[in-house]
Amino acid sequence: MHRRWFALAALCVSAFALAGCGWHLAGTLPGQTPLGMVRISGERSGTAAVLRESLRVSRGVQLVENDDPAALQIAILADATGRRIVALSGAGRAREFEIVQTVRFNVRFQGQDLIPTDTIEFRSQISYDDSSVLSKEYEIAALVESMQRDAAAQILRRSAALKR
């Protein structure tokens, strides 16, 4: 019984000591990107929309609409979602799809390429059932949205790392 109390007390003391000295994991916290002024160009939907929304809630970021030379320019050049049949059932119907999300982008700052035109591609396989078409379409839409969030996060991480 005393050992448990001693272990709990030691754990609490360690946690308070670490918190009190200012120690934290390396990197920025979610919602904190050291990007300053940012301009996102591209369509108003898809990955560009996810980028805008992510930056809108981030501290230390100001979204601008004009071509301010002091702003980090993130251009979404292409954002496409594709489907490919991976497996067929015995009756010749699609049983499994591969969903592919491709985002082509570049990042410029003060007229120079920080990230020259590059492509991010995410792939995921999903089973398909003709008897539940509507639910599978919702599942695919959620998967595509998740891939777009992942692409936006990757672009932001790479941009922040290069701008430091």
Range(s) of the domain holding residue 86: 30-163
Q: Is residue 158 part of a domain?
A: yes
Q: Mean pLDDT throughout 71-82?
A: 94
Q: Is residue 112 part of a domain?
A: yes
148-161 tens-digit pLDDT: 999 999 999 998 88
12-28 tens-digit pLDDT: 555 555 555 555 444 44
Count of domains observed in the chain:
1
101-130 tens-digit pLDDT: 999 999 998 889 999 999 999 999 999 887
Q: Which two tokens stand for residue 144?
A: 């595509």
Buried b (16+ CB within 10 A) or exposed e, 22-46: eeeeeeeeeeebebeebbbebeeeb
Q: Is residue 24 part of a domain?
A: no
Q: Are 64 and 40 in contact (CB under 8 A)?
A: no
Q: Is residue 8 part of a domain?
A: no
Cα Rg of the chain (Å, integer): 22
Quickly list DSSP for 16-64.
HHHHHTT---SSPPTTEEEEEEEEEES-SSHHHHHHHHHHHTSEEEEE-
CATH of the domain at 126: 3.30.160.150
Q: Is residue 146 part of a domain?
A: yes
Instruction: Kindly indicate the confidence band of residue 6, based on its pLDDT and cuts at 50, 70 and 90.
Output: low
39-52 tens-digit pLDDT: 999 888 899 999 99
The three-state DSSP-derived secondary structure of 94-148 is EEEEEEEEEEEEEEEECCEEEEEEEEEEEEEEEECCHHHHHHHHHHHHHHHHHHH
84-107 tens-digit pLDDT: 988 888 888 888 999 999 999 999
Q: Is residue 130 part of a domain?
A: yes
Q: Is residue 46 part of a domain?
A: yes
Q: Is residue 57 part of a domain?
A: yes
